[in-house]
Amino acid sequence: MLRIHLRGLILAGGFATRLRPLSCSKPKLLFPIVGMPLVESMARWLSSGGINQIILAVNHLSDKLKIEVGHHVAGVPVKFSVEETPLGTAGPIRLAANLLGRDDPFFVANGDIVSDIEIRHMLAVHEETNAEATIALVSVPDPSPYGSVLTDPNGKVKKFEEKSAVLSATSHVNAGVYVLSPGVIDSIPGGRSVSLEKEVFPKLVRNGRMQSWMHKGFWYDIGRVSEYVRANHELLEKQELKAAKPVASEDGGEILRPSYLGTRTHIGVGAKVGPLAILSDNVSVGDEAIVRNSIIFEETSIGEKATVEGSIIGERVVIGKRSRIGNGSIIAGQLTLPEGSILSPNSLILC
């Protein structure tokens, strides 16, 4: 069926505690995924599936996100639905009822998903099975950090348990992407925080109204640092396979593939960048500096002869000349490390 309105609500009101200290100064939706802010990557994906209105469900601390996003992302109109107090994963859906409308099914996605889940296919399954909710599933090696799902052979959900030891025997987990019929909004209690996973889904399952759809493509929940890094590395390698031209430094440094250089990056003479160096826009790498296996957020500068290995450096950081950043370190955004700083492996430099 051709729909005029296909709306997608992104849950973006959490506090991203598992991404600290990087999330102190940057909302999760603005984290770069191979140089592209997550919100843009999600908007491109949703719009490729026909979604033509995005609603960002945020908390009252999200000024930065509002300023960055404005009224459109990747050509898709965006509206904000702002909570005064955190309403969980279901409460924001009820709060945004007027923006979601009463006529059509709509999509809901957790605000930390990078995937190519086929929106149109999911919607078709939702309509064919007359479900109230259709949930995308993915298969993962360790289901324990996710919502585990048991289905019957037709894909009808028989059991949903959030982060459960009991159901963890199944490798099929909630991908954090759903199609919901407008009736679901009425089943969400108002005025308090409500969990989709713990309150709304189990009820839909009991009523036999929850369908699943198995996703076979790529999927990451970047809400944990290890998964954030994995998403960047794997997507970088995927992009490199398709890349029309090799990454090149016009400034005299050496770039080892796979690597990604954003726009207006500067690589100094004799610098060595890569493999697995992901530099967002406006990053500068000083003469003879070394950056490998690291993710560098935008506008950060790495001083002459500094070495950064296996690390994540936040936005607008200044790393002084001849500093050494040991493997596994994370440096919060907007900090300055003086010349000659030595960070032992796995250092966390907080905001």
Interface residues toward ligand GDD, by CB under 6 A: 11-14, 57-59, 83, 86-89, 92, 110-112, 146-147, 162, 173-174, 176, 197, 221, 223
Q: Check if the beta carbon of residue 255 is closer than 8 Å to that of residue 265.
A: no
Which one of ligand GDD, Mg ion, none is in contact with 146 (Cβ closer than 5 to 8 A by kind)? Answer: ligand GDD
Among residues 114, 154, 163, the alpha carbon closest in space to that of 134 is found at: 154
Residue nearer to ligand GDD on the CB measure, 112 or 315:
112
CB of residue 186 to ligand GDD, shortest distance in Å: 19
Q: Which two tokens stand for residue 125?
A: 């399954």
State the binding string over 252-271 for Mg ion (x if CB under 5 A, else -).
--------------------
* Binding status of residue 111 toward Mg ion by CB under 5 A: no
CB of residue 181 to ligand GDD, shortest distance in Å: 19
Q: How many helices (H) and strands (E) does the chain have?
A: 8, 31
CB of residue 275 to ligand GDD, shortest distance in Å: 28
CA 88 to CA 134: how far, in whole Å?
19
What are the distances in angstroms from CA 298 to CA 24, 104, 148?
Answer: 15, 39, 36
Residue nearer to Mg ion on the CB measure, 112 or 118:
112
CA 206 to CA 211: how far, in whole Å?
12
Residues 6+ apart with CB under 8 A from 335: 314, 317, 318, 349, 351
* Binding status of residue 112 toward Mg ion by CB under 5 A: yes
Tell me how far apart the 2 most distant CA atoms of the chain are, in Å: 66
Which listed range, 45-53, 97-105, 183-191, 223-231, lies at the site for Mg ion (CB under 5 A)? 223-231
DSSP structure class, residue 141: S
What are the distances in angstroms from CA 65 to CA 19, 69, 78?
Answer: 16, 6, 12
The position carrying tokens 């009822």 is 97
* Binding status of residue 197 toward Mg ion by CB under 5 A: no
Neighbours of 270 (CB within 10 A): 15
Which one of Mg ion, ligand GDD, none is in contact with 229 (Cβ closer than 5 to 8 A by kind)? Answer: none
Contact with Mg ion (CB under 5 A) among 161, 221, 298, 299: 221
CB of residue 51 to ligand GDD, shortest distance in Å: 17
Residues 6+ apart with CB under 8 A from 130: none
Contact with Mg ion (CB under 5 A) among 223, 253, 258, 333: 223
Residue nearer to ligand GDD on the CB measure, 110 or 232:
110
Which one of Mg ion, ligand GDD, none is in contact with 174 (Cβ closer than 5 to 8 A by kind)? Answer: ligand GDD
Which one of Mg ion, ligand GDD, none is in contact with 288 (Cβ closer than 5 to 8 A by kind)? Answer: none
> 124 φ, ψ to 5°?
-65, -45
Residue nearer to ligand GDD on the CB measure, 36 or 87:
87
Which one of ligand GDD, Mg ion, none is in contact with 92 (Cβ closer than 5 to 8 A by kind)? Answer: ligand GDD
Residues that bind Mg ion (CB under 5 A): 112, 221, 223
